[in-house]
Amino acid sequence: MQTPSPQWAGAHPLPSPDRPGARPAGGVSLGLGTVLRRLWLAVLCGGATSWAVAADVCSAQSGPQQRLLVELYTSEGCSSCPPADRWLSSLRGQPQVLAVAFHVDYWDQLGWPDRFAQPAFTARQQALQRSSGARFVYTPQVLVNGRDWRQWPQLPAAGVPAQVQLLAERTGAAGVQLTVSPGAGAPARLGLWWALLEDGHQSAVKAGENRGDTLRHDHVARRWVDEGSWLPAAMPRRWTLAAPSHGEGGRATKLLMVVTDAASGAPLQALQLGC
């Protein structure tokens, strides 16, 4: 069955067999150098509202407002995707915005296998498509706080009060402790997912729609884990996440943590730890 064509410009729907070319821590005086180093580490920890750096400890805490979570579904095999990839990279340094790029694999069949694509990322996009009632998946697709957002590069205003608070602390090179504290008005059941992200990748594409181009990527998801759901209690819930601080080849990773309304999947708060 032929995939319906999108009704907006620049979208690539899922390729179909009928359309082979479809585009679907008091009283200590600190030197300036120490202060600058700590501030830099704070930035790496995702623009956190509170932070601590001592020896091997790094922590980040969410603030009173909900962060904007921007998800991009993209592929190196999609000629409409590079502008979206560049726009996502430009979001680095915006404290109220957290971004992630999920590379999907359904473009691999057209000549260029995307090394960042995973079936799990495609399955996530397809599950979101079904839950939203959309007719098809496409690239590049942008979601903001769980909703399809076709107005990019513009973003909605932040400032919605957060219904949950998050505190993350790295406990070692391979682990992070996350504390989730529900506030008044939090949903009856909460969910948690997290992803390991990497910055600074580039690929020299030798086939497919982007043949001859060098593509650069940030916020690239390399692992995605759904921790399931639970009923919130008066006491905070603690999770131990098996999230290493470095990936393949010693490349530094960022840990993105997202708490959702388990019933709808809508993000309630997001936090990033970059150490």
pLDDT tens per residue, range 90-119 = 999 899 999 999 999 999 999 999 999 999
Instruction: Read off the DSSP letter of residue 95.
Output: T
Predicted confidence (pLDDT) at residue 137 exceeds the cutoff of 90? yes
pLDDT tens per residue, range 18-42 = 333 334 433 333 344 443 344 444 4
Predicted confidence (pLDDT) at residue 155 exceeds the cutoff of 60? yes
For the chain, percent of residues with pLDDT exceeding 90: 73
Where would I find the beta strands (DSSP E) of 110-242? Answer: 138-139, 141-144, 147-148, 164-172, 175-182, 190-198, 201-204, 214-217, 220-230, 237-241
Between 129 and 40, where is the model more confident?
129
Sorted by sequence, the CB contacts under 8 Å of residue 235 that are 6+ apart come out as none
Neighbours of 143 (CB within 10 A): 19
Contact 265, 128 (CB under 8 A): yes
Q: State the chain's mean pLDDT as an integer.
A: 85
pLDDT of residue 42: 44
pLDDT of residue 109: 93
pLDDT of residue 12: 53
Predicted confidence (pLDDT) at residue 226 exceeds the cutoff of 90? yes
pLDDT-based confidence at 11, cuts 50/70/90? low
- Distance CA(109)–CA(165), nearest Å, equals 42
Predicted confidence (pLDDT) at residue 16 exceeds the cutoff of 50? no
pLDDT-based confidence at 159, cuts 50/70/90? confident
pLDDT of residue 56: 57
pLDDT of residue 80: 98
